[in-house]
Chains A and B, each alone.
Chain A
């Protein structure tokens, strides 16, 4: 049933993505509205799928890269749906849905992890850690896209030769506000995620902070977003600079999400979730 719901979600996301791409090409508003509804339906199925999985196993689907990507996509779509209701930037869906779709497709191709897991993974603090971190990730994905859209639109305007994108993208001020909005959702969640993670680490591994590569990179990401937030609130950073930092932040985030899992060893690695790895973190 979990798989069935996942496939429904995948199918609907793809359909919604197609709709949003056609919308940006043809500029038919109805298409955007329909695609939004389709994504919403897909999100419902996705939520069901994840909820069933979690209920079944007792922990969030973060067992393997595939499952984590699915959770990531879920968070991205979730944050989008909420932000979209407030901002109603039709073009945002055309940028965001392909990102979520790529995550979902990769997720469906990656093998599902099986086998026993460490009992430690079934822990409330870890649940909070994973939940908040992923919501933060979703929000930063929106900030990232807002940054990209901002740079594109700025380029259109500054070039003095506005092309087709110029009409399709909202105003710079709106894109900047979107960037900010996503940041003030993402930052507290990421902070919470890191705090709950270190409480979990203290509780299970005996120390709050272990200089695990993922921890280090997450700290870098967190600092980047922290600097951006500070700059925005205190020094009036906005526009291009904010967009660039939001983009950089997300790239670092993706690197620590994907790159570290693939290339670097650490107890955040998916392989480490297998019993009994998590009990014996790598010792340098």
Chain B
């Protein structure tokens, strides 16, 4: 049976101080085979959440696996033991000595854990900085967690917050700004040469993997006219079919160049396929309509001098690589801005979390006053009986209003987050003043103790 995950009762919360913990490993700390083994171990143990059954003190859990990371986010009243127990289980399952396993994992607690999650969601911790998939993966994992009822008040809030942090980072910084792959850089360039790609034609010369990837990107960016020319016609046909394109025999290269707008060349040819004179002639024939060559073949297929012609643009693999390097550097710059946003949102989350601590006191305070009100009502029942229903209603409303007004100040005193460091003292004083009894007298002892960190 999945654990109950409703909003914690007032008493529960005060007794148990839950801490947010992240335990995991990623592409920086562990090699891919270890990550794979761990994922398959967790899968083998059945539904991932059952694997955590019996770990002491686990409250809410959220489990994330991607090809670059395995992370467990949880809240626990006993984080030390939970972490120890989990790492023992993982190490045992992997048949790896604990001493070797421990350096490969990281543990974040409290604010650090919140920050880490926000960084992961914002793709600041990704192998390719700013890559967009991770947020989708977290959302999917979260949906799974919700289905299994693994998360509760704290993690629900935390994960939703991480989505909005990621969104903020994405819109307010340029971290996901520009292409960091060669094939996507080519698409971006095409968009700076042509108005829109819908009506443009792409010609693939050769059918290498890179060319395939580039064509895929062009297709995803609304190019609907893709032609493939290859020395072996079958391969050309097969590729063209993938994008509802057409294939042409090798002999028709010249004609195809006349028709197309974007050329992606990636043949294994040792000599130049397209020379300057040929391009000059084609340009005259096509009335100078711009032509964009992407030469990702090594050795190159296309005469580099054609870049000097008007309305002809040529990028080779090194040029594209140069752009990618430049964009990556830019993302790193933007990442610093993003870290600021993460820190800021982390603080906001902490404020909310701290706010949870005063909830039980407020509830107890309300309860006490309501009881007092009801007591007085009963005590004076004989007096009240002599009244009409309307009069009784009036008295009742008056008492309620009075209670509300009396409580207004102490409650806002509690809720005032201005002096974070005095919060525990505030709670203490209020509980003493009103003789609040939280959780069968346990709290009155607690309140005398040192404020918990």
Residues of A within 8 A of B (CB): 153, 156-158, 160-162, 166-167, 169, 171-174, 177, 235-241
- Cβ proximity bits B258-294 to A, threshold 8 Å, 1 near / 0 not: 0000000000000000000000000000011110000
Query: Which of B193, B310, B322 is A160 in contact with, Cβ under 8 Å?
Result: B322
Given contacts A236-B287, A236-B289, is CB(A166)–CB(B322) below 8 Å?
no
Does B323 reach chain A (CB closer than 8 Å)? yes
For B177, give the chain A residue with the smallest CB separation.
A167
Does B250 reach chain A (CB closer than 8 Å)? no
Given contacts A239-B288, A240-B310, is CB(A160)–CB(B315) below 8 Å?
yes
Please name 28 pairs of A and B residues whose Cβ atoms are closer than 8 Å in the assembled complex, sorted by A.
A156-B192, A157-B189, A157-B192, A158-B307, A158-B308, A160-B315, A160-B319, A160-B322, A160-B323, A161-B322, A162-B192, A162-B323, A167-B178, A169-B192, A171-B191, A171-B192, A171-B194, A172-B290, A235-B287, A236-B287, A236-B289, A237-B288, A238-B290, A239-B288, A239-B290, A239-B310, A239-B311, A241-B310
Cα distance A239–B195 in the bound complex, in angstroms? 13
Does B326 reach chain A (CB closer than 8 Å)? yes
Contact at B195–A174, with CB atoms within 8 Å? yes
- With a cutoff of 8 Å between Cβ atoms, the chain B residues found around residue A169 in the complex are 192
Contact at B323–A177, with CB atoms within 8 Å? no
- With a cutoff of 8 Å between Cβ atoms, the chain A residues found around residue B308 in the complex are 158
For A241, give the chain B residue with the smallest CB separation.
B310
Contact at B195–A157, with CB atoms within 8 Å? no
- With a cutoff of 8 Å between Cβ atoms, the chain A residues found around residue B101 in the complex are none
Cα distance A84–B193 in the bound complex, in angstroms? 20
Cα distance A177–B289 in the bound complex, in angstroms? 12
- With a cutoff of 8 Å between Cβ atoms, the chain B residues found around residue A156 in the complex are 192
Per DSSP, are chain A's interface residues mostly helix, strand or loop, or mixed? helix
- With a cutoff of 8 Å between Cβ atoms, the chain A residues found around residue B313 in the complex are 157-158
- With a cutoff of 8 Å between Cβ atoms, the chain A residues found around residue B192 in the complex are 153, 156-157, 162, 166, 169, 171-172
Given contacts A160-B319, A161-B326, A240-B310, is CB(A172)–CB(B193) below 8 Å?
yes
- With a cutoff of 8 Å between Cβ atoms, the chain B residues found around residue A172 in the complex are 192-194, 290
Cα distance A34–B391 in the bound complex, in angstroms? 61
In the complex, how many residues of chain B place their beta carbon closer than 8 angstroms to a beta carbon of chain A?
Answer: 21
For A177, give the chain B residue with the smallest CB separation.
B195
- B399: min CB distance to chain A, Å: 53
- With a cutoff of 8 Å between Cβ atoms, the chain B residues found around residue A157 in the complex are 189, 192-193, 313
For A162, give the chain B residue with the smallest CB separation.
B323
Given contacts A238-B311, A241-B310, is CB(A171)–CB(B193) below 8 Å?
yes
- With a cutoff of 8 Å between Cβ atoms, the chain A residues found around residue B311 in the complex are 238-240
Given contacts A157-B193, A241-B310, is CB(A173)–CB(B322) below 8 Å?
no
- With a cutoff of 8 Å between Cβ atoms, the chain B residues found around residue A153 in the complex are 192
- A154: min CB distance to chain B, Å: 9
- B263: min CB distance to chain A, Å: 16
- With a cutoff of 8 Å between Cβ atoms, the chain B residues found around residue A177 in the complex are 195
- A253: min CB distance to chain B, Å: 24
For B200, give the chain A residue with the smallest CB separation.
A173
For B287, give the chain A residue with the smallest CB separation.
A236
Q: A160-B319, A172-B194, A174-B195 are in contact. List 13 more A-B contacts (CB 8 A).
A: A157-B193, A157-B313, A158-B307, A158-B313, A160-B323, A162-B326, A171-B195, A172-B192, A173-B194, A237-B288, A238-B290, A239-B288, A241-B310
- B145: min CB distance to chain A, Å: 37
- With a cutoff of 8 Å between Cβ atoms, the chain A residues found around residue B323 in the complex are 160, 162
Kindly list the 6 A-B residue pairs having the minimum CB-CB distance in the complex, ordered from nearest.
Answer: A236-B287, A173-B195, A160-B319, A239-B311, A240-B310, A236-B288
For A237, give the chain B residue with the smallest CB separation.
B288
- With a cutoff of 8 Å between Cβ atoms, the chain A residues found around residue B326 in the complex are 161-162
Cα distance A153–B311 in the bound complex, in angstroms? 12
- A24: min CB distance to chain B, Å: 15
Cα distance A161–B321 in the bound complex, in angstroms? 11
- A146: min CB distance to chain B, Å: 14
Cα distance A197–B326 in the bound complex, in angstroms? 55
Cα distance A167–B315 in the bound complex, in angstroms? 17
- With a cutoff of 8 Å between Cβ atoms, the chain A residues found around residue B319 in the complex are 160
- B146: min CB distance to chain A, Å: 36
- B69: min CB distance to chain A, Å: 31
Query: Which of B195, B288, B315 is A238 in contact with, Cβ under 8 Å?
Result: B288
For A235, give the chain B residue with the smallest CB separation.
B287
- With a cutoff of 8 Å between Cβ atoms, the chain A residues found around residue B289 in the complex are 236, 238
For A236, give the chain B residue with the smallest CB separation.
B287
- Cβ proximity bits B301-330 to A, threshold 8 Å, 1 near / 0 not: 000000110110101000100110010000
Cα distance A160–B288 in the bound complex, in angstroms? 21
- With a cutoff of 8 Å between Cβ atoms, the chain A residues found around residue B191 in the complex are 171
